[in-house]
Structure 1
Amino acid sequence: MELRDRKKLQRLMIVQDVSQRELAKAAGWKSHSYLGRLLRGEAKTLETEPALRIAYALRVGVEDLFLTKVDSSEYDSGQRHVNKKVAA
C-alpha cells in the first residue's frame, strides 16, 4: 500500500496524541524507524497488514490514509488470460 498524505498522518497523530513509537507498535513493527521514514517522505509504501493496523489505531478508514498499489504487469497478464478464455 502507498501512503496518500504524510502530513495527514502527522496531523492525526498530533490530534490524537499518538507517538511514533506507539503507532509503530500498533502497526506490529519492533522499531519506529520505518514510521519515521514514512513521516519524512523517505518511504511511501508498506505492507497491507501494518497499513490496516495504523488506520485502525487512528480510527480512520484505511482508504483515508493509503492507496492500494496494483502491479500493472499482473493486471495485464490476467487480462490476457481472461481474453484467451473468452476466445476459446
Structure 2
Amino acid sequence: MTVVSHSPLTIGGIWMELRSPSRLADRMREYNVSQRELAKVAGWKSHSYLSRLLSGSETTLNTDPALKIAFYLGVPVSDLFITQSDSPPAERPTPRRRRPNRGR
C-alpha cells in the first residue's frame, strides 16, 4: 500500500452558530424533546448551555454537539446551524506574471 503524503493544511477553529433559537425550540416542540434530553444527546452534563442557546444569550457551540442535535432531531445540520471558521482560505500560489511579447 502506498501512502501519499501531503503538506499539512493549517485550519483554524471551526464551530457552529445557531441560526435561530426559535427554530431550535420549534423542532424540539415538534418532536416533544426536553432540554435535558437534548442536552444529554449533545453530550453535555447539564442542560444550562442549551438553555442559554434557546434564550439567545449564547449563539455558538462546538461541531460535535451541533451534529448530534441535528441528527437526533432528524433535520439537516444547515437547518439549525451555520458552520463558522476563523481561518482564511488556504493560500494559493501567486500566479507568475507573463512577460510582454516584444515582437519576437
Q: Point out the structure with the larger strand share.
A: 2
Residue among 11, 18, 21 paired with 1:3: 18
Residues 31-69 of structure 1, C-alpha deviation per residue, up to 9 Å, x if partnerless? 000000000000000000000000011000111100000
State the shift of 1:70 in Å.
1.9
What 5-or-longer segments of structure 2 have no aligned partner?
A: 1-15, 97-104
Q: What does residue 61 of structure 1 align with?
A: 76
Q: What does residue 13 of structure 2 align with?
A: none
Q: Point out the structure with the larger helix share.
A: 1
Task: Name the % identity.
Answer: 53
Q: What does residue 4 of structure 2 align with?
A: none
Name the CA distance, whole Å, in 2 between partners of 1:37 and 1:56: 20
Amino acid at match of 2:38: L
Q: What does residue 23 of structure 1 align with?
A: 38
Q: Which has the larger radius of gyration?
A: 2
Residue among 70, 85, 88 paired with 1:75: 88
What 5-or-longer segments of structure 1 have no aligned partner?
A: none
What TM-score do the two structures reach when normalised by structure 1? 0.85
RMSD after superposition: 1.3
Name the count of aligned residue pairs: 81
State the shift of 1:15 in Å.
1.3
